[in-house]
Structure 1
């Protein structure tokens, strides 16, 4: 791969599996050293770290619950402290709680907002103390923020829609420091939570223009573009990597 991110350091929250792992590996393939956070599965986080190290880059895994703001701040500061700098923050960790609105509990509401809204805000707040000119903040949202075609997504869609406001306003706020802020909204993506051969996959594919799921690497490629020098004049933008789901 190219070396567009040589000498850069990235932090990917929720980077032990799925889209997060693909993003961590793609950024490392472009030359970055990578810190990633995980909540439970140390083995899978270590596997991603080992793959990055095998490619000749530095990597660390940080256990951090994104529902805990102190843990989020500490993870950002640790990534900076151990890897020596921080150039790219990818807010990927997410809570995926679904159900009819009348059955969702306040605890589920609080968890969703804590992970999907507060954590990106807190991580960004911590990161801007370290990001240099040319730094990047990339938020990972969801196609459901723009087109919720199934019942039961009200809470999740609401939480991901909040990232649009954060991205636009923070992009404006940090533009004078040459730090860009963008939002990537994945569509149907082949992960453990939503496998391309799952029971509802046929219906879901039918909502896309291309007729198939994305691979996590497709989303990661867009993140890498935004993180690299070719993305330097894009900020406050939303990029839908959804196969035409929202078209």
Structure 2
């Protein structure tokens, strides 16, 4: 899978899955631009390591995100990885926190994908990182979060139809328990998650990045409007 002369734009690329994606595409020869919100040190270190370009932009700020995408010029592959997790009883959860999560998880994914498509030649790729919880939620306190991830599924199906005439594919990657800053393999929830997995281990950010690399390649040009779960059988 060769990506020379291909520009990749990653929203939320400074840490964990996003950083793994930046590394994999850079290693494959792509020119990579990635955004970060607050992790300036991590972003600058990753940029120095990979040769990618780091751009500060809040994924929940529509105008800032659109400007960052527009300034990047023509984009061949767009990957939306930004996401927030807000937990809590729906009767008491802070409404502003839920609104912020919707801004980042849903509105950012939609407006970012649409803007990227304006900058994209025919045959481009749009990928969004969702969650397998959109298909299986065994715990309480996550209804608002799951709502945002389910919205990604509908968006992906719709955009796949809209972009199909231009041979642009649109897909969602749905990781399950993955060793990240948000959900570390040594964290307090890890044992309960592993208990429900067919493969009794957390996934890795690099495994998710590998799936993204395949879906962005010419080998996957017939795959669109689809959910690609990578969760060790958590939602099986």
Q: Normalised by the size of structure 2, how large is the TM-score?
A: 0.98
3-state SS of paired residue (1:183):
strand
Take 2:71 and 2:23, find their aligned partners in 1: how far apart are those partners?
20
Gaps (5+ residues) in structure 1? 54-58
What does residue 98 of structure 2 align with?
Answer: 109
Measured on the aligned residues, the alpha-carbon RMSD in Å equals: 0.9
Q: Deviations over 1:2-48 (max 9, x none)?
A: 5x111100111110001111111111111111111000111100111
What does residue 63 of structure 1 align with?
Answer: 56
Verify the 8 A CA contact 1:140 1:184 in the aligned structure 2: yes
Q: Displacement, 1:240?
A: 0.1
What does residue 76 of structure 1 align with?
Answer: 69
The match for 1:97 among 77, 86, 89 is 86
3-state SS of paired residue (1:128):
helix
Q: Displacement, 1:103?
A: 1.5
Verify the 8 A CA contact 1:144 1:153 in the aligned structure 2: no
Take 2:169 and 2:131, find their aligned partners in 1: how far apart are those partners?
20
What does residue 36 of structure 1 align with?
Answer: 34
How many residues end up aligned between the 2 structures?
Answer: 236
Take 1:198 and 1:126, find their aligned partners in 2: how far apart are those partners?
37
Q: Deviations over 1:33-87 (max 9, x none)?
A: 111100011110011111212xxxxx2111111111001101111222xxxx210
Instruction: Please tell me whether residue 170 in structure 1 is matched to residue 162 in structure 2.
Output: no
What does residue 5 of structure 1 align with?
Answer: 3
The match for 1:203 among 192, 196, 200 is 192
Instruction: Please tell me whether residue 155 in structure 1 is matched to residue 144 in structure 2.
Output: yes
Q: Displacement, 1:200?
A: 2.1
Q: Normalised by the size of structure 1, how large is the TM-score?
A: 0.93
Take 1:201 and 1:95, find their aligned partners in 2: how far apart are those partners?
19
3-state SS of paired residue (2:172):
strand
3-state SS of paired residue (1:110):
helix
Q: Displacement, 1:176?
A: 0.6
What does residue 223 of structure 2 align with?
Answer: 234
Take 2:189 and 2:61, find their aligned partners in 1: how far apart are those partners?
33
Q: Displacement, 1:206?
A: 1.1
Matches within 5 A, 1:179-190: 179-190=168-179
